[in-house]
Structure 1
């Protein structure tokens, strides 16, 4: 059983008053009026109140001692984590040359009388390029070899027009635009002169097409976000404003470049095109770009002070808490006139530091910087754990980021203020909510980690040890250790498609690692779930130092089961089109949230490794969507990411091996 919390003195205000009243006859027998109206009783209550406060402080001593004990075993409270959000900058006019918005540009929420502004800083430079349209094609659904080349030079000539799709449009037909430069994360405007009512018969609010860009790798074609369609689905002259995801260069129709296309979909709720709409002119412009922003403020070239030449010097940053440190950028410079500056790097502790190592230690919570101490040895020599800054040297922090916490989890469209004006930038907004913000770890949370630390003692023996230690590596969301016993029991099961159990031999350990992503909502792009070589190497190195001698370790990604759900839902008779659309959006959001390795399952903590998916639970899940009447039919398919045609039907349950995880591919929900 756990040890009880100890109070050095458990007396409280009422106990002190009662004890004082009992002592009155002994020390002052002539005092006979013990009512609360007596001035003497009032003095006793004042003294009892002061004593109660003092005892409260005394009882904090065990907690402070506990913090010191945690420090002695190497336990530190985790610093806060900063929320991340995509931030979109909109330009006042289309640029004629590349425009760069520097990293560390600050955007914020609106400051009010009761709340301070919440500041985000961009993580990388954002360069917005003016687009150059190289070619345009109309591709037929029959295949890549069936296409029409459009003459861009004649666009705008009176009487000349091009057909967007084939003469009799069918699902799969597409209008392709080849761009010279990479316009990933750009906001593009397509200004088109369309033949009036050329695409009559379609609903502009529910157009029968999607805009996509080529991403290559696993993603293939990825959907763009349509901000505005002034052409009413190619029916009038206007502009289409698109927010593009990342792009990759590829060759189609004999032309190499970066590709944007408009594809007729098969999931049409309403009537499609009877004939192809026509375009009489087309111009592409850049209107902005999107970059990742992190909750925090970047500080550069902050002076810490001057060194006095003694070991163990301590300095304090002006701002805290401090977020993660970049090993290349977030360093300390010690400058002495007439000499080259020394660069000091951050370390977790000084245990492995010698007198020639330029190391410092940072307390992220308080912002305190500590240089290596020195200890007197039995033979009279002094051993230094790290170099000591020269006397008189000016200590300067090149860069650091402070902020973080749950306050940074702001909703969509909350970041709308530029802290400083930027030429050609008209406005800024975040179209998605900021996620990932977390406060500093509490002492209670640290207490729960103590048994793990004391049990593992930085050594990996059991499967739980491997999973606990792997979770300490930055960038790891979750992990699963597959041992020979686990793999042998799973190897007897039968799994659909290309899903197979791992063959782990005795003496081997297979570590399955799910990488952390910044915004795990909606459909996750397949390349975000790829285990990068850097993260794989970090986990491998971290565990190699702690595994048992003779154990072979393999770090690998999970085996993802990409699932597409096709559902038919019913709403009450007479429901409006808006209600049907709302039910459809809610159902899709529910599916993407539930069938998710990061936010999935009923717990919301991510789909458990190896947990099967049952068809019955999807019926229950969709039945909970507001305004729905009942769920008529659900089909589940195993699919290839981004390819709805390459899929295999799944029965009443989808079995997974221990390293398997469910991931949402493209879901389809019809509401009638």
Structure 2
């Protein structure tokens, strides 16, 4: 039962009129006509009606008071999330000495003079060392388990080395190259001497994968360029090595391994009739890849002087401010004495001598401890107060964040920081993860849920709410039991995708390692001891719609077709799909009847003649099976729109 809502003033129109009439003999005894027809009584009723309207407004909780209440209990909007991208730095020449790209190296986009947009600045998060690779081992590994050391044959042999040693060329055969140091994040060039023995293969798409060991398994490298036709002729192979590369042992030899693995051919893809033979191989470093984030490093600045009063606040010049790193803090300079104060989330546990402050990232406001009067009349100072006239400084901070940082591929091309021997930089993939700060409306909706549960993860709703609170990059969360009892729960997370709906791909809905770490760390703080949490993504079931519609006379068929496809893309979408536009619901099937109704509502469609639904493999890009009237969805899946075909007559 909800708590009864008290009325601040329970007077009604009639009670106000009666009260005013009772006061007439006291203040105007000569007024004796109290009938409704009297002009004075008409004025009383008019003002009583106006007073009743005012009382109605008083009895409603104004939004201003509601917002102030959330501020008092510490509910503040989440700061923006930072977009991240991998930046690839290219050397001006092949060098014999290491090249260091320092942390916080800044790269930016070109400013657009047409729309007046400022350049977007990214900064590297860690130091990148581009060192000449040292190749020191070579092994051929067969699927059957046979390992042969071919290092001497590769260096000095006249016939070279068969890359895939099995006589029948079994998928999984590999040529492994061992390096003295890690190649993590590097761009390397393999200069290959080979002869055309691996006949039968398409040189533009050979069944070949380049992989490195990351400590838990083999992960793929990106082939930037391959002029060898799949190790079939002399040429160069440029590889972008992932940022993870760990040592391993192959054939009783420890090294950092890179391998070329034979793949099973895809349908319609030709494969090798014989193993290619490598006669010589050398490796050079062309560049390196490092993670960067949408952030601009700003120097220290003076933000004000203390007046010696409690609850002071100061604001930095650039907002929003990103979460502070080591070395980013507030300094209080009193004369010749300089002290570093400590940042805290709030002042609830701070004593009067604790040198602490709260720094709000969204607004950039630095606050010092307030003085609070408690119900028993006592007054307590939460946090020390900087001395009067003391100078308040920040040692430095990073500015950035928001959807503005989700720039496209190959747009971060201008180096704001000069690095010797580096002549070019680019982001080969698009940036992702940038989300704007939480709006006031969203904070108001979240506030009561936070107060109701006390930050404990007990129910299914608690886990879902805490997952959404973990990061603005989380769009949806679904919690369900993953095993017997309540000790094991599974969380299905749908991340934010900041692209046009028609451009959404399966890989856009993968959880990035940084987001996974953020979610698991946040849930670990609030879960009950003994509760195991599994965080994963839903299974995305592709749906392809084939429809035959008739357009209104005079409407361009191409325009009607595009509108119909756009409507299908929006409807079958995990983020904005479904009947209410909040994302396709879990456990909800799709049927041809609802799709027909959707297409009939599209502007320019006169009638829908036929609708067919197909399951779609999002990896291979093919329809699966025959057409259906209904496609079922299990409790761990969501629909994702794919490859619709709409014919307009």
Aligned counterpart, 1:135: 137
Task: Find out whether 1:503 has 2:501 as its counterpart.
Answer: no
Name the CA shift for 1:383/1:556 in 2 (closer, same or farther; >3 Å). same
Residue 479 of structure 1 and its aligned partner are, at CA, apart by 5.2
Distance (whole Å) between structure 2 residues aligned to residue 559 and residue 77 of structure 1: 26
Output one character per residue of 1:355-396: Cα deviation in whole Å (capped at 9) or x when no partner.
Answer: 132221223333221111224679997521111224454433
2:479–2:492 contact (8 Å) kept in structure 1: no
| Residue number among 401, 406, 425 corresponding to 2:403 in the alignment | 406
| TM-score (norm: length of structure 2) | 0.68
2:179–2:255 contact (8 Å) kept in structure 1: yes
Distance (whole Å) between structure 2 residues aligned to residue 601 and residue 291 of structure 1: 39
470-479 vs 179-188, which moves further: 470-479
2:108–2:414 contact (8 Å) kept in structure 1: yes
Distance (whole Å) between structure 1 residues aligned to residue 439 and residue 133 of structure 2: 50
Aligned counterpart, 1:42: none
Aligned counterpart, 2:78: 78
Secondary structure in structure 2 of the residue aligned to 1:155: helix
Name the CA shift for 1:92/1:156 in 2 (closer, same or farther; >3 Å). farther
2:438–2:472 contact (8 Å) kept in structure 1: no
Name the CA shift for 1:193/1:605 in 2 (closer, same or farther; >3 Å). farther
Name the CA shift for 1:116/1:470 in 2 (closer, same or farther; >3 Å). closer
Distance (whole Å) between structure 1 residues aligned to residue 261 and residue 580 of structure 2: 37
Aligned counterpart, 1:323: 322
Aligned counterpart, 1:223: 220
Aligned counterpart, 1:311: 310
Name the CA shift for 1:436/1:331 in 2 (closer, same or farther; >3 Å). same
Distance (whole Å) between structure 2 residues aligned to residue 216 and residue 371 of structure 1: 46
Name the CA shift for 1:292/1:601 in 2 (closer, same or farther; >3 Å). farther
Unaligned residue ranges in structure 2 (runs of 5+): 6-60, 498-504, 545-570, 596-611, 641-649
Distance (whole Å) between structure 1 residues aligned to residue 359 and residue 587 of structure 2: 40
Name the CA shift for 1:460/1:187 in 2 (closer, same or farther; >3 Å). closer
Output one character per residue of 1:381-440: Cα deviation in whole Å (capped at 9) or x when no partner.
Answer: 752111122445443323322122212111111111111221111211111111122222
Residue 79 of structure 1 and its aligned partner are, at CA, apart by 2.0
Residue 135 of structure 1 and its aligned partner are, at CA, apart by 0.6
Alignment of 1:444-459 (within 5 A): 444-453=441-450, 455-456=452-453, 458=455
Residue 190 of structure 1 and its aligned partner are, at CA, apart by 0.5
Output one character per residue of 1:276-298: Cα deviation in whole Å (capped at 9) or x when no partner.
Answer: 22222211112122222211212
Distance (whole Å) between structure 2 residues aligned to residue 447 and residue 180 of structure 1: 56
Aligned counterpart, 2:16: none
Distance (whole Å) between structure 1 residues aligned to residue 98 and residue 581 of structure 2: 43
Residue 74 of structure 1 and its aligned partner are, at CA, apart by 2.9
Alignment of 1:234-633 (within 5 A): 234-245=231-242, 246-268=244-266, 269-326=268-325, 328-336=326-334, 339=337, 341-347=339-345, 349-375=346-372, 383-453=380-450, 455-456=452-453, 458=455, 462-474=459-471, 477=474, 501-504=482-485, 510-513=488-491, 522=507, 528=513, 536=520, 538-543=522-527, 554-558=531-535, 620-622=614-616, 631=623, 633=625
Distance (whole Å) between structure 2 residues aligned to residue 613 and residue 161 of structure 1: 58
Distance (whole Å) between structure 2 residues aligned to residue 399 and residue 109 of structure 1: 23
Unaligned residue ranges in structure 1 (runs of 5+): 4-60, 488-500, 545-551, 568-593, 635-651, 665-672
2:162–2:278 contact (8 Å) kept in structure 1: yes
Distance (whole Å) between structure 2 residues aligned to residue 213 and residue 425 of structure 1: 25
Residue 450 of structure 1 and its aligned partner are, at CA, apart by 4.2
Name the CA shift for 1:560/1:230 in 2 (closer, same or farther; >3 Å). same
1:123–1:294 contact (8 Å) kept in structure 2: yes
Distance (whole Å) between structure 2 residues aligned to residue 152 and residue 333 of structure 1: 62
1:476–1:514 contact (8 Å) kept in structure 2: no
Secondary structure in structure 2 of the residue aligned to 1:266: coil
Aligned counterpart, 1:589: none
| TM-score (norm: length of structure 1) | 0.66
Secondary structure in structure 1 of the residue aligned to 2:443: helix
Residue 543 of structure 1 and its aligned partner are, at CA, apart by 4.8
Distance (whole Å) between structure 1 residues aligned to residue 618 and residue 154 of structure 2: 55
Name the CA shift for 1:87/1:266 in 2 (closer, same or farther; >3 Å). same
Output one character per residue of 1:457-496: Cα deviation in whole Å (capped at 9) or x when no partner.
Answer: 65666432343235323599465555xxxx5xxxxxxxxx
2:307–2:387 contact (8 Å) kept in structure 1: yes
2:188–2:283 contact (8 Å) kept in structure 1: yes
Aligned counterpart, 1:121: 123
